[in-house]
């Protein structure tokens, strides 16, 4: 015998009303008043069993209505454990990152270390010191530079990046800081007597005309 229309409406109210609120509360991340939750869930289960004794309550619905408080308590406990584990993992990763950087800083720059740890193929920008070091290696041996970068995955700028940087080296009158840095790196493998240098002052003729630089700067005329 099929239930009357009014009974079906009552059942739909319980199923889609009270049960919906209970399921949303169980799955939510908000703090729940467990006493009120238990009372509301048990009352819903009692109404369902009283009105529809012929309907066998599904196991899932039984767990939510009868054991919902235990489920929420376990859920909260596991969430706390997960958060604690996440904090511990983050702390360990931070310690490992700091230690790795301390060790690598003896051999690499901060930009090179970040490039290695990030797993990326290039950095946003290289510092003048890093470019000067890379340019010196390229000056000593192009084949060695390519081997270091391609085969050994040593963090170095690309050849085209070096070419663009070399075209922007400041060659104006005064102290050539970029050139001095390149000379410093290039002299690392020189013997002591090969490092001996002489500062020589001499006269030279300078043409009396203007020079234009890419940085919108005009130099001269010199007399």
Q: Which of 23-37, 59-73, 96-110 has the highest mean pLDDT?
A: 96-110
Mean model confidence pLDDT for the chain: 78
Q: What is the DSSP string of 125-162?
A: ---HHHHHHHHHHHHH-HHHHHIIIIIS------HHHH
Q: What is the pLDDT at residue 163?
A: 86
In whole angstroms, give the CA distance from residue 139 to residue 182.
Answer: 9
Q: In the beta sheet, which residues pair with residue 211?
A: 219
Q: Could you tell me how far CA 74 lies from the centroid of its own chain?
A: 33
In whole angstroms, give the CA distance from residue 81 to residue 4.
Answer: 49
Of residues 105 and 220, the one with the higher pLDDT is 105
Q: What is the pLDDT at residue 1?
A: 44
How confident is the model over 87-116, as a mean pLDDT? 87
Residue 8 in this model has a pLDDT that exceeds 60: no
The Cβ of residue 136 has, within 10 Å, a number of other Cβ atoms equal to 19
pLDDT tens-digit series, residues 164-218: 888 777 766 677 777 777 777 777 777 888 888 888 777 777 667 666 665 556 6
pLDDT tens-digit series, residues 132-168: 888 888 887 889 999 998 898 888 988 888 888 887 7
Which segments of the chain does DSSP mark as H helices, in order?
5-13, 19-27, 34-51, 59-104, 110-118, 128-140, 142-146, 159-167, 177-186
Residue 209 is classified by DSSP as S
Q: Are 11 and 52 in contact (CB under 8 A)?
A: yes
pLDDT tens-digit series, residues 57-87: 778 778 777 877 788 877 778 878 888 889 9
Q: What is the pLDDT at residue 212?
A: 63
Q: In the beta sheet, which residues pair with residue 219?
A: 211
Using a 10 angstrom Cβ sphere, with 0-12 exposed, 13-18 middle and 19 or more buried, the burial of residue 46 is exposed
Q: In the beta sheet, which residues pair with residue 218?
A: 212
Ranges 60-64, 104-108, 126-130, 134-138: which has the least confidence? 60-64
The reported pTM is 0.46
Using a 10 angstrom Cβ sphere, with 0-12 exposed, 13-18 middle and 19 or more buried, the burial of residue 210 is exposed
């Amino acid at each position: 015998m099929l239930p009357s229309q009014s009974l079906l409406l009552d059942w739909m109210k319980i199923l889609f009303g009270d049960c919906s609120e209970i399921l949303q509360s169980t799955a939510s991340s908000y703090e729940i008043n467990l006493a009120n939750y238990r009372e509301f869930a048990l009352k819903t289960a009692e109404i369902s069993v009283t009105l529809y004794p012929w309907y066998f309550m599904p196991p899932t619905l039984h767990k939510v209505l009868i054991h919902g408080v235990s489920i929420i308590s376990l859920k909260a406990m596991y969430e706390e454990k997960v958060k604690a584990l996440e904090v511990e993992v983050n702390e360990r990763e931070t310690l490992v990152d700091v230690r790795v950087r301390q060790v690598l800083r003896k051999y690499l720059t901060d930009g090179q270390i970040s490039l290695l740890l990030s797993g990326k193929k290039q950095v946003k920008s290289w510092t003048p010191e890093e470019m000067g070091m890379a340019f010196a290696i390229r000056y000593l041996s192009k084949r060695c530079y390519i081997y270091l970068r391609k085969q050994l995955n040593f963090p170095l700028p690309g050849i085209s990046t070096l070419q663009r940087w070399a075209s922007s080296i400041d060659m104006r009158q005064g102290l050539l800081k970029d050139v001095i840095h390149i000379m410093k790196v290039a002299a690392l493998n020189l013997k002591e007597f090969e490092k001996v240098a002489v500062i020589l002052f001499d006269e030279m003729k300078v043409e009396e005309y203007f020079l234009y630089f890419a940085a919108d700067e005009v130099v001269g005329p010199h007399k």
